[in-house]
Structure 1
Amino acid sequence: MRERDDPAVVGRRVQQLRTERGLTQRQLAEPAYTPAYISTVEAGRVRPSDEALRHIAGRLGVAFEELAVGQPAHLATDLRLRLTEAQRVLADGRAEEAAGRYEALLAEAEGYGLVAEQAGALLGLGECALETGELTKARERFEGAERCLDGESLPVRVPALRGRAVSHYLAGELRYAVYLLESALDELNRGGLHDPDALLLLYASAIGPYMDMGAHARAAQAAELALALAPQAGDPALIARMHRSVARTLLAEGRLTEADASLAKAAELYRRLRLRTELANCHWMRGYVCAQNGELDRAEAELRQAYTMLSASRAALYRSQAAVELADVLHRRAKSDEAAALLREVLGDFSSERGAVHAAAAHRLLGIIAEDTRDTEAAEEHYVRALSLLERAGAAGDLADLCRLLGDLLRRTGRTEAALDAYRTGLGHRTAPGTTTLGPAPAQPPL
């Protein structure tokens, strides 16, 4: 419990409750105290002892905490239960309803000075904003949670820090996202703060930006360490998220069967936990695995399932990202008109500050579709826009391939010098794999 309020505040509280209950000062005082003592308490001229305050609370029929700090009995427990319920609503894909619940919880926790519960509500609001694609708002909420937890140990602060890193990652700020995650990993591992849940959350979150930056070796190492930590972790939702992230590195190494098995484990955990949006993301990743394996009919079915689930839960940014993957499969299945229509429909959900990597993928695919119809002017425009987005985000993993596409187009239209420039740019990215992160790899945990 926080420190007791000033005597004047406590006195006003006692007087208000006594008046509401229709009691006289004598009735409140008997049998242990005098009416004069109650009068001095209500006037704020004396600081009542804990024993006196417990007597007064008993006569008024309220908890000691309500008189001492204005906090109803069992409030913190009640708020924690309501935070859990709000998490269930968010997991069911109802982000807007969950946000309303978290806002009410935040106001209540702030009113009573319950810092841990404030941080929990802010974390929930950050996750809601990620779900709806409001990345600036998400970052502000996670920063607020970090401020609430400022005096806590790093493992306690990790969920808020990870949320902020994901906000930057989805906004296309890959280098800064990696910097935040690697700095926290270094501090945990070098400081001997071996917290399996915190480490697992950070390693799993680092895999996506590593892959997009072309740092495949570092992504593989993060996946290996995450798998080693999983048996020590206690949160099944976190383990499921780890399996989904690890699948990306397995795919990059061509280990499609293992990637599919990892996603199956994640999907089973998400079904058991009823985490709807995360389950949709599993369908999305399994569709990607099937596409890599040439099973285009199954890939289309999985991606359509993901797109439908994410549309129902109003997860705008994730829905648009899944749409890009679905459009790629539709194009490969000779359904280019449907693919182009889908891409144009969702392209407005992206920007250089919001989903930059997938925005670039959408422009790349629209460029390929334009080339198929011999509209070279439109194709070049899409490739150049994609290149600009990837360069700004630092997504070296896709830049080399895009430079090749643009170079081939320029060569076919007779612009040899411009084509050579595009090829050279691509080669520059191809020759430096894994060097796009900031500094050396983070320290490893003492597994």
Structure 2
Amino acid sequence: MVERDDPETIGRRVQRLRVERGLTQRQVAEPAYSAAYVSTLEAGRVRPSDQALRHLAERLGVEVDELATGRPAHLVTDLRLRIVEAQRTLATGEAEEATRQYAALLAEADALRIVEVRAAALLGLGECAVETGELVEGRQYFERAEQTLANAPLPARVPALRGRALSHYLAGELRYAVYLLESTLDELNRGGLHDPDALLLLYASIIGPYMDMGAHARAAQAAEFALALAPQAGDPALVARMHRSVARTLIAEGRVAEADASLAKAAELYRQLQLRTELANCHWMRGYVYAQNNELERAEDELRQALTMLSASRAALYSSQAAVELADVLHRRGKSDEAAALLQDVLGDLSSERGAVHSAAAHRLLGIIAEDARDPEAAEEHYVRALSLLERAGAAGDLADLCRLLGDLLRREGRVEAALDAYRTGLGHRTAPGTTTLGPAPAQPPL
């Protein structure tokens, strides 16, 4: 989408090009228009329609965008190629260099008033900010991209909406992230806007928040829709991301072999596309799957590989989250001192505003390690910190488990009333299987 010049400017441009080519107004006008119309247009007294611009551009031997804006067509093409180059830079884990490329593109797009390139540059800057853990800045870029595309169809705005939801999700605002994703899905499906790429992106993105909130039935349904949409999608990286997300629901249902197969498909696609950060996240998820299946040595290998790759690409927030998963495996393998040291290192990069769920997981694990070391005071302190983080995030499933740990600790310490309070808190947050407090589910896609 390119913003047109005003009628007077377009009129002068038509006249200049016509004179340069030695054509009369009648020759430019025929057969679709009259010489009088071209005269009126050249005087700037009429705004040409899209059809008129296409006709005039053909008669004058130029591209429509060049006639409407004065910019050669190759300029927009060059900018689009640079957008692809910046996307590739980010995909290979060089977020800082990608940020510089996107910032330069944004400045040029603003100067040239090219809406399409401006939106793509803002979207890229948002992705870079999320990669480096700057969630507030990332959300602001996504919001600006959404505003830039305000007049575009909803499917075109979906990547910006999804980016905004992702930044809220990573900040621990699970309920609002789900609201954004569900309302967009509902609008797409009820409006008959069956765009497979847009729908697949949304369904793959909503699985994580659903799982963290304990809404497992909705997560499983989203995974089912994503798998059904995948054959229609045109973006292989999007399909790979979908397989990675779906693995979470499969492992929750005990379907370990299927989860591993789904991740293998994702990893192969990421390798083919040379998407380094996404491949690292795939190793991370495979480590999670192996850990859930009690294959701890394989889990440690996968998670160490993920952490090495993410650290090399300076994906600070994702590195910290993978480190928490690795620490859990190390603790289970009897390497509690190494696990505790790793957790203390990453807690400085996590907070209630930045990776709340994983920050809570770090405190939970440090509490368990403290209990093993017979330090109930330190354990209680870590459990309470984790409880505060999970309550703010609304992570119901993790909350119930944490309240059980805290209640058991308090009961062993002889503090029965405090233990009962902890148990009641856990029961209050626990939802019945297949239910959620999120309200009606969004309309289903027309599969």
TM-score normalised to structure 2 length: 0.87
SS in 2 for 1:379: helix
Residues 239-278 of structure 1 mapped to structure 2, 5 A cutoff: 239-278=239-278
Counterpart position of 2:216: 216
Alignment map for 1:33-432 (pairs within 5 Å)? 69-432=69-432
Closer/same/farther in 2, CA of residues 182 and 67 from structure 1, 3 Å limit = closer
- SS of 1:74's equivalent in the other structure is helix
Distance in 2, Cα, partners of 1:259 & 1:157: 31
- Determine the C-alpha separation between the residues in 2 that align with 1:68 and 1:170: 42
Report the Cα offset of residue 428 of structure 1.
2.1
- 1:42 match: none
Superposition deviation, residue 427 in structure 1: 1.8
CA distance in 1, matches of 2:7, 2:275: 46
Aligned-pair CA distance for 1:434: 4.8
Distance 2:85 2:229 in 1: 28
**Distance (Å, rounded) in 2 between the aligned partners of 1:431 and 1:2:** 51
**Quick one: distance in 1 between partners of 2:174 and 2:266?**
25
The 3-state SS of whatever aligns with 1:422 is helix
Q: Is the 8 A contact 2:11 2:43 kept in 1?
A: no
Q: CA deviation at 1:337?
A: 0.7
Q: Distance in 2 between matches of 1:272 and 1:260?
A: 18
2:45 & 2:191 partners in 1: Cα distance? 45
How far off its partner does 1:46 sit? 6.7
1:108–1:332 CA distance, 2 compared to 1 (3 A): same
Q: Using the TM superposition, name which of 143-152 and 357-366 deviates more.
A: 143-152
Number of aligned pairs? 416
Question: In the superposition, relative to structure 1, how do residues 32 and 332 fare at CA in structure 2: closer, same or farther (>3 Å)?
Answer: closer
Q: Distance in 2 between matches of 1:273 and 1:8?
A: 44
Superposed CA deviations along residues 161-193 of structure 1, whole A, max 9, x for unmatched, are 011010100010000000011101111111111
| d(CA) in 1 for partners of 2:261, 2:93 | 25
Q: How big is the shift at 1:218?
A: 0.5
Match of 1:4 in 2: 5
Unaligned runs of at least 5 residues, structure 1: 16-27, 34-44
Q: How far does residue 436 in structure 1 lie from its aligned partner after superposition?
A: 3.9
Give the superposition deviation at 1:425: 1.3
Q: Which residue of 1 aligns with 2:36?
A: none
Counterpart for residue 28 of structure 2? none
CA contact 2:343–2:362 (8 Å) conserved in 1: yes
> Partners of 1:64 and 1:246 in 2: how far apart?
44
Task: Mark the CA change 1:85 to 1:232 in structure 2 (over 3 Å): closer, same or farther.
Answer: same
- Superposition deviation, residue 8 in structure 1: 8.0
Equivalent residues of 1:247, 1:262 under 8 A apart: yes
Matches of 1:277 and 1:74, distance apart in 2: 32
Q: 1:154 to 1:408 in 2, by over 3 A?
A: same
Conserved in 1, the CA contact under 8 Å of 2:217 and 2:435?
no
Q: CA deviation at 1:4?
A: 3.1
**1:213/1:437 contact within 8 Å kept:** no
Paired residue type of 1:290? Y
Name the SS for the 2:442 alignment partner.
coil
Q: 2: CA distance between counterparts of 1:30 and 1:259? A: 65
Structure 2 distance, partners of 1:445, 1:388, is: 37
TM value normalised by structure 1: 0.87
1:346, CA displacement in angstroms?
0.5
In structure 2, relative to structure 1, the CA distance for the partners of 1:434 and 1:69 (3 Å cut) is same
Contact 2:10 2:67 (C-alpha < 8 Å) held by counterparts:
no
**Alignment-mate amino acid for residue 267 of structure 1:** A
Report the alpha carbon displacement of residue 9 of structure 1 after superposing the two structures with TM: 11
Secondary structure of 1:334's partner?
coil
- Structure 1 residues 79 and 413 mapped into 2: Cα distance closer, same or farther (>3 Å)? same
Letter in 1 for 2:379: A
Match of 1:21 in 2: none
Aligned residue identity for 2:350? F
Shift of 1:429: 2.3
Name the amino acid aligned to 1:179: Y
What CA deviation, in whole Å up to 9, does each residue of 1:349-371 have, x standing for no partner?
A: 11111100000000000000111
Residues 214 and 431, structure 2, Cα contact 8 Å, conserved in 1: no
Could you tell me how far apart the structure 2 residues matched to 1:29 and 1:317 are?
58
Q: CA RMSD in A?
A: 2.6
In 1, are the aligned partners of 2:244 and 2:282 still within 8 Å (CA)? yes
Post-superposition Cα deviations, 1:248-291, rounded to whole Å, max 9, x if no partner, equal 00011111111001000000000001110000001001111111
**Alpha-carbon deviation of 1:232?**
0.9
Q: Alpha-carbon deviation of 1:71?
A: 2.5
Cα contact 1:138–1:167 (8 A) shared by 2: yes
* Contact in 1 for aligned 2:284/2:306 (Cα 8 Å): yes
